Structure 1
Amino acid sequence: MTSEIAGPVPGSRLPNSYIETVARFAYVWGWPMVSMINRRTGLTSVPEPGLRGGILPNAPVGRVCMMTDYIAPSQRFVACTNQDVLYGFGFGSLDEQPAVFQIPDFGDRFWVAAAWDHRTDSFARLGKQYGTEPGFYTVVGPNWKGTLPQGITGSFRSPTAMAAFCPRVFLEDTPEDRAAVAELIKQVNIYPLDEFDGNIHSYDWAAVPSFPTPDAGGSGEIHWVNPDTFFDQLSEVLDTVPPLPGEEALYQQFRTLLAAAEGSDSVKKTLTDVARATEDELISTLLRWEFNGPPAGNNWYSPLNNSAFGTDYLTRTAIARSNMFENAPQETKYLFTDTDIDGTQLDGTHAYTVTFAAGALPPVNGFFSLTLYNKHHFYFENDLGRYSLGTKNPGLHYGDDGSLTIYVSNTPPTQEPRSNWLPAPPDEFSLYIRAYWPQQAILDRTWQPPIIHRA
């Protein structure tokens, strides 16, 4: 005889140590999904598409707001943004209302339009690397049973009702390219399916309103997960995110904790105490890049399953903490490090060289960049307004042998080309390589990232 009960029998007395053990795992498991709930609330609470503080795209549920220039270094809504693309961002409630992705003809320009489910897994394949044709594409929820109208080019089904959207359009760091993309970007749009009429819905993204920015509460990313309210929000996750195969028993274990807390102030206090301790002792450490993926060579790290995490709960939570909203590996390969080749923390009290040997630039069909982040994973604001270098910078100086050396330091180099200088803060920082539309040598890890030498 087998039992269908997946956790302790309802009403059982639970030892405090058992509550602590399950609660700690629940916190790690659910952290990205609670973060998604709170990001949706924070980034959709506007009456129309616009920019928070004039710097970060926000839009009502089911829509997107596009940017017309690189993202501002002062924003603290999303860590580890890049300054290679024009971003758009939004959220959808796809069981209630599918969303239409309006894709113009980008010509030779690189672009990708990502969509993530509530678990932060990517589910849509829209971009230059997929050979996506111009047209209208829908993303629909798992329980949506409507009929798509004539004129829809293709459709993708999300595993969850909630989804996040992020079109990215490559922008070269020149006035000429900004002018070239100005009209094109007006045709990039996302809106509810019930507004679809088969016509291009253009939007003057340069004229969107600005909305107040809430206090970020420090130099790091806004705290999207509050340990004190985490277990109050976990029930929403369990109710709206279907379990993966084999997770049914896990869900029941978590529900057992929540049920016990409903009838006991002592259990509720234990859950809160565990959440606070796990945030301090575990989640905070995941900001270190060494916990975001296996070694990729030369003291760099790189995830192998970004945006396709399955039951790899640790990596999913690590990336949600340090680098939310990564593209799928075939769209973008991410490599990052906190240390030089000797394993010593990167620090602006020293100067560094990052040299790509001749023929050893990241092998991509799209573009690459090397970005510098401060210890909070945001830009180090500097007088040059320079936060990354790569394909977007046509003025980089290459050596006579074809190599490319980037100079990283707090003060400008005295002899080396200033065009190749990446300003660093006076204290700890990290470096980050993005390889958009990576070639096989990056995907199979035969290409090695550059060595970082301390001068």
Structure 2
Amino acid sequence: MKKKIALFLALCLLMASSSGCSQKSTKPTANPDVWQTVSDAYVYCLPLVLVNETMVAMTNTVAANSTRAPINQLIHAKGLATAASKDIVTPNVDTVYSQVFLDLSETAMVYVKPKTERFCSVEVMDAYTNAVSILGSGGDTQEQQTYLFTGPNYKGPVPDKMKQVSLPTNLAWILIRVVCNGDADLDNVYAIQNQMQLIPLDRYLSGEPDNPPAGTYNPENDFVPITHVDAMTPQEFFDLANQLMVNNSPTAADAPLMKTLSSINVGPGCTFDSAVLGEDASNQWNNMVSNLTSVLATDSAKFSVALGSWSYFGEPIAEFGTAYEFRALIAINGIAVNPATVAIYPKAYKDSNGETLNGNNAYTIHFDKDALPPTAENGFWSITAYNSDNFLIDNELNRYCINDRSGFTLNQDGSLDILVQSKAPDPSQRSNWLPVSDGDFHLYLRIYLPQESILNGQWSAPVINKVV
């Protein structure tokens, strides 16, 4: 243990010296640019800190269950989201999730993906929320495949018939989405989950049964990650960020920014001193955090793609590069999203006349003939309604979306009208009814495995018409 501590301290000092950080405390300064540097540092570090705190919360358990699992162990969700689901905002009702947080600092992990004949996509993310690889649907193969997840320091061999997925960070987040065609289909999804395997490499090669170690539970780690991060002080936030960057290094492309951030001792192994923030630091910090989303939205508007009344964020989503503001915005509002080639999420707040959607009115979402969202093999689409609080809307049918698997009825000319209203329509139209409640609401049109005609703007999105 003493050797490990000494090695860690030596590594911290090495990283600090190589990053240009000073190990001396930084004294208060009147430099008016310091808060711009602090803001840049916060934006850069936010996804890393948020991923770590999500990991802390979701691994806070002794044994794996449907919502949590110890590090390097799979979490298999059970069931689809309903109006009672309040754990995350804007939940989808199309896929059932499996996921795992990996610590690759001391071991490589073997993942066996089963063969599937439906959408089953494995998103492999680094500690900064970049999608390093997509496996399965939208990626390489629907066939069974064995993968070796390795960290940046792995020097060992890759066994035969394994495909290496090399991660640039030791902390990784794997999110697996399996499409589900309603409650009656859940057993089929569970069968896919049960065929997945995740085993340390040495255990896999030995052929011995894998008995995953028990985790630990700490009631202090029962928190909502984004709320927990928002409440951090500058010292807490940057202490954690500096520590995390030791094992999850910035990329070469980040070097210019890291040089700037070193002026306030933010970087791998640096020692941050909140005295650099000067007087009234607490109020300025809280104002910066509170106003961050609106600032980031303005900076990221150039990545928004308009589709009539709908809009979505396109490239470089999930493959952010140095688009740090965009990366932070997505981490706050929709962490762990797919690249646009795998899925897009057009959102609508207003109808075709530019008026806010409200449940006191009735609407039709009109698709022209042969204009339903074109998707690749195993792709799908859905339209889901959410209240202003970003949760699903309770209704008598327990129906939260209309999708390509719904039993809707086409018009005689082959077009489709989805009825969006609070009051039940005639029985003959109920198959096309997407219930909402009184008050403002918004819609998401999720399209998984979109064809190129959607991404290049040739496809026309459905029109949202107010019924008068």
- Fold agreement, TM-score > 0.5: yes
Aligned counterparts of 2:381 and 2:241: Cα–Cα separation in 1: 38
Matched with 1:320 is: 331
SS of residue paired to 1:95:
coil
Name the SS for the 1:196 alignment partner.
Answer: helix
Matched with 1:86 is 96
Q: 1-side partners of 2:385 and 2:293: how far apart?
A: 22
Is the counterpart of residue 234 in structure 1 residue 247 in structure 2? Answer: no
1:207 paired residue number: none
Q: Given the superposition, is the C-alpha separation of residues 398 and 126 from structure 1 closer, same or farther in structure 2, using an over 3 Å criterion?
A: same
The 8 Å contact of residues 7 and 249 in structure 1, kept in 2 or not, is answered as: no
2:434 to 422, 442, 445: 422
Q: 1:200 to 1:277 in 2, by over 3 A?
A: farther
Matches of 2:410 and 2:125, distance apart in 1: 38
1:169-184 mapped onto 2 (5 Å cutoff): 169-173=178-182, 175=184, 177-184=185-192
1:342–1:224 Cα change, 3 Å: farther
Q: Is 1:20–2:29 an aligned residue pair? A: no
Q: How many pairs align?
A: 435
1:254 corresponds to which residue?
Answer: 261
2:215 aligns with none
SS at match of 1:389: strand
Superposed, which structure 2 residues align to 1:1-12 within 5 Å? none
After TM superposition, the score normalised by the length of structure 1 is: 0.84
Match of 2:374 among 352, 363, 377: 363
How far did residue 146 of structure 1 move?
2.3
Match of 1:438 among 450, 453, 467: 450
Shift, 1:271, TM fit: 5.1
Secondary structure at the counterpart of residue 186 of structure 1: helix
1:187 maps to a residue whose letter is Q
CA drift of 1:375 comes to 2.6
Do the aligned residues in 1 keep the contact of 2:382 with 2:402 (CA within 8 Å)? yes
1:58-101 Cα shifts (integer Å, max 9, x gaps): 21111212234213544444333311112112200123222222
For residues 237-280 of structure 1, the C-alpha deviation after alignment (integer angstroms, 9 at most, x for no partner) is: 44333223342232233233247995564727655434321222
Cα offset for 1:200?
Answer: 12
Moved more, 336-345 or 357-366: 336-345
Name the aligned partner's letter for residue 283 of structure 1.
T
Which residue in the other structure is 1:206 paired with?
Answer: none
Q: CA deviation at 1:189?
A: 3.4
Residue 299 of structure 1: how far off its partner (Å): 2.8
Percentage of pairs with the same residue = 26
Q: Which has the higher helix share?
A: 2
Alpha-carbon distance change, 250 to 287 in structure 1, aligned in 2, over 3 angstroms: closer
Q: 1:86 corresponds to which letter in structure 2?
A: V
Structure exhibiting the larger radius of gyration computed from Cα positions: 2
Q: Which amino acid aligns with 1:373?
A: Y
**Aligned-partner Cα distance in 1 for 2:250–2:150:** 19
Report the Cα offset of residue 161 of structure 1.
1.2
Q: CA RMSD in A?
A: 3.5
In 2, Cα distance between equivalents of 1:454 and 1:199: 62
Q: Aligned match of 1:140 in 135, 145, 150?
A: 150
1:307 shift after superposition:
0.9
Contact 1:286–1:318 under 8 Å retained in 2: yes
Match of 1:339? 350
Q: Could you say which residue in structure 1 is the equivalent of 2:202?
A: 194
Separation of aligned partners in 2, 1:110 and 1:202: 28
| Residue type at the aligned position of 1:333 | I
2:309 equivalent among 293, 299, 303: 299
* AA of the residue aligned to 2:99: F
Residue type of the alignment partner of 1:294: S
Alpha carbons 1:6, 1:249 under 8 Å: kept: no
Aligned counterparts of 2:46 and 2:164: Cα–Cα separation in 1: 29
**Gap change, CA 1:67 and 1:226, over 3 Å in 2:** same
Report the CA distance shift for 1:42/1:350 in structure 2 as closer, same or farther (over 3 A).
Answer: same
The corresponding residue for 1:373 is: 386
- For the residue of structure 1 that corresponds to 2:149, the secondary structure is strand
Q: Is the 8 A contact 1:20 1:270 kept in 2?
A: no
Choose which of 84, 104, 126 in structure 1 pairs with 2:135. 126
Distance in structure 2 (CA, Å) of the matches to 1:324 and 1:117: 12
Alignment of 1:244 with 2:259, yes or no, is no
Partners of 2:208 and 2:417 lie apart in 1 by 44
3-state SS of paired residue (1:148): coil
Match of 1:31 in 2: 46
Q: Which amino acid aligns with 1:356?
A: F
Q: TM-score w.r.t. structure 2 length?
A: 0.82
DSSP-derived class of the 2:132 partner: coil
| 1:112 and 2:121 are equivalent in the alignment | yes
Greater Cα offset, 244-253 or 120-129? 244-253
- 1:406 corresponds in structure 2 to 418
CA distance in 2, matches of 1:222, 1:414: 44
Residue equivalent to 1:275: 285
SS at match of 1:124: strand
Instruction: Look up the equivalent residue of 1:90 and give its one-letter code.
Output: V
Please give the secondary structure, in 1, of the residue aligned with 2:339. Answer: coil
State which drifts further: 380-389 or 258-267. 258-267
Structure 2: give runs of 5+ residues left out of the alignment. Answer: 1-17, 212-217
Q: Do the aligned partners of residues 360 and 123 (structure 1) sit closer, same or farther apart at CA in structure 2, a change above 3 Å counting?
A: same
**For the structure 1 residues 102 and 261, does the alpha-carbon distance in structure 2 shift closer, same or farther, using more than 3 Å as the test?**
closer
The letter of the residue matching 1:320 is: A
Change (3 A) 1:231 1:404: same
Compared with structure 1, are the counterparts of its residues 8 and 46 closer, same or farther at alpha carbon in structure 2 (3 Å cutoff)?
A: closer
Residue 216 (structure 1) shift = 6.7
The Cα of 1:379 is off from its aligned counterpart by 1.9
Distance verdict in 2 for CA 1:415–1:224, change over 3 Å: farther
Q: Are the equivalent residues in 1 in contact too, given 2:347–2:443 (CA < 8 A)?
A: yes
Task: Provide closer, same or farther for how the CA distance between residues 97 and 338 of structure 1 changes in structure 2, counting only shifts above 3 A.
Answer: farther
CA gap 1:168/1:282 in 2 versus in 1, 3 angstroms: same
